[in-house]
Structure 1
Amino acid sequence: MNITRHSAIPVQQAVDESPTLARLSQLARQSSARMALVRPIIPAPLRKLVQPGVPEPDSWCVLVPHAAAAAKLRQLMPRMIKALQEGGEPVQAIRIKVMQSPH
């Protein structure tokens, strides 16, 4: 019986060697960078509720747990877009998605 043993590799190496994982890692970094730019605009009690979503070339999606949080973010959207653009992100629109709670 021939047993093949695979050696473990560091996670970052696995990410770097897989085009799919590398792209997902890049998107996560970009989304986190965008979140860092808008975080100061979001009221402190709401900050922990807002989750960064998928970045697209000219738009971005953020996730919130309920409609009240979405309504407040919609009021802040012009300021958020301006902060993103001033930070070098070419965002023209932000989509706000209310996350569905598990039933």
Structure 2
Amino acid sequence: MSSKPPPLVPDSIDLSEALRRSAPLTQLRARLQESADRFEAIRGALPGALARHVRPGPVDEEGWSLLVANAAVAAKLRQIKPHLEGLLREQGWQVSSIRIRVQSN
């Protein structure tokens, strides 16, 4: 019979429980999931070669960001941005703006 050893610190909780209890971390986790869900909603509309250079970025009150590898990818993405915003609206997302951010290495 194996039992869990007592915590090193009295009344301590494990990390997963602490994350569940933290309102800011719960909100962060929800925003990360929303960003990933939005990205899945538009992934099919990204041209094949372009898609691998685009990642989901943060969601906030002002909109959603897509993170891109370079200025050329950003330029192409800006051309199809109205289409991507329309796709999100069609799928029920509140879309104020998609921002395109070039990631520096």
**Interval containing the TM-score (normalised by the shorter chain):** 0.7 to 0.9
- Which structure 2 residues correspond to residues 72-87 of structure 1 after superposition, within 5 A? 72-87=76-91
Report matched runs for 1:58-77 at 5 Å.
59-77=63-81
Range moving further from structure 2, 50-59 or 25-34: 50-59
Q: How many residues align?
A: 97
**Residue 31 in structure 1 maps to residue 9 in structure 2:** no
- 1:8, CA displacement in angstroms? 6.4
What RMSD in Å do the two structures reach over aligned CA positions? 1.8
Identity %: 34
Q: Which consecutive unaligned segments of at least 5 residues does structure 2 have? A: 1-6
- Kept in 2, the 8 Å contact 1:38–1:80? The answer is yes
How high is the TM-score relative to the length of structure 2? 0.82
8 Å CA contact 1:64–1:96 kept in 2: the answer is yes
Separation in structure 2 between the aligned mates of residue 64 and residue 42 of structure 1, nearest angstrom:
12
Larger Rg: 2
**Which runs of 4 or more aligned residues in structure 1 lie more than 6 Å from their structure 2 counterparts after TM superposition?**
none
Which range moves more in the overlay, 88-97 or 53-62? 53-62
Give how far 1:58 is off.
5.5
Q: 5+ unaligned residues in a row in structure 1: which ranges?
A: none
